[in-house]
Structure 1
């Protein structure tokens, strides 16, 4: 036999592993699963054997429930972080959009100024071309009469 007949008292702290918190009673229950009082009793025979099988199923359900809770907690945490990241990105994009709108407005304003200046230069070009054409005609007429 691996264990002595005497009951050993353990001073066990509460374990904290992530979101899994085991109390002293739960740890003792887990330890009792590994301790066999009588090697002649098989796990599937008699009332004690069936109690152990039910306990084992209940323990598996309990562990699965704790595991599912931890998984759900991690999932909520990931969802929260994702939402925070998206919120930060939205805020960053709003600032960038505001800056781009300012740049666009400035460029559009400059475009209008250049367009107006181009119109003025075009009208000045037309006026100067007409004046040159008149002077050219006058010179050609005066040289034609002077000959």
Structure 2
């Protein structure tokens, strides 16, 4: 009986070890599937990360290009502004100089007009009337103020 009970317990051990091996094989198979799945998931994640990085690098390149264009535009505009500002300064100085000259000429005309009776009188200098007529200081256009406008300075 002992031998029969030993045989029966031996056969149950063989059955148990067979089922344990099947269970271990099933666990190993699940581990391999999970490991393969994890590797595939990690590969997809790396690919997404690489695509995102590539997109960001492309965006950086595009933004740098736009920034360069904007800086170039600003530099060109600044140069134009400085050029116009310099021309404007020159025109202001010219206006000032011409205004001073105009004022001086108008003062001369005013002085000549006020002294016209003394200087233009032919009896004072004992000149004939014809000479008085031809004297450029006595011409009527000199009695008018000289006017100037900014339009004559346009090139």
| TM-score normalised by length of structure 2 | 0.56
- How many residue pairs get aligned? The number is 103
Residue 97 (1) aligns with residue 56 (2): no
**Distance in 2 (alpha carbons) for counterparts of 1:54 and 1:135:** 118
Kindly indicate whether residue 17 of structure 2 is the aligned counterpart of residue 72 of structure 1.
no
**Bigger relative contact order, structure 1 or 2, given CA contacts below 8 A and separation 6+?**
2
The question of 1:55 aligning with 2:23 is answered no
Which of 99, 118, 121 is 2:81 aligned to?
118
CA distance in 1, matches of 2:87, 2:78: 14
* Structure 2 spans left out of the alignment, 5+ residues: 1-7, 112-155
Structure 1 stretches of 4+ with a deviation exceeding 4 A read none
Q: Distance in 1 between matches of 2:97 and 2:15?
A: 119
Q: 134, 138, 146: which is aligned to 2:97?
A: 134
TM-score normalised to structure 1 length: 0.59
Q: Distance in 2 between matches of 1:94 and 1:115?
A: 31
Superposed counterparts of 1:14-33, under 5 Å: none
The two structures, once aligned, show a CA RMSD in angstroms of 2.2
For structure 1, the residue ranges without an aligned partner over 5 or more in a row are 1-44
Match of 2:124 in 1: none
Q: Looking at secondary structure, tell me which structure has more helix per residue.
A: 2
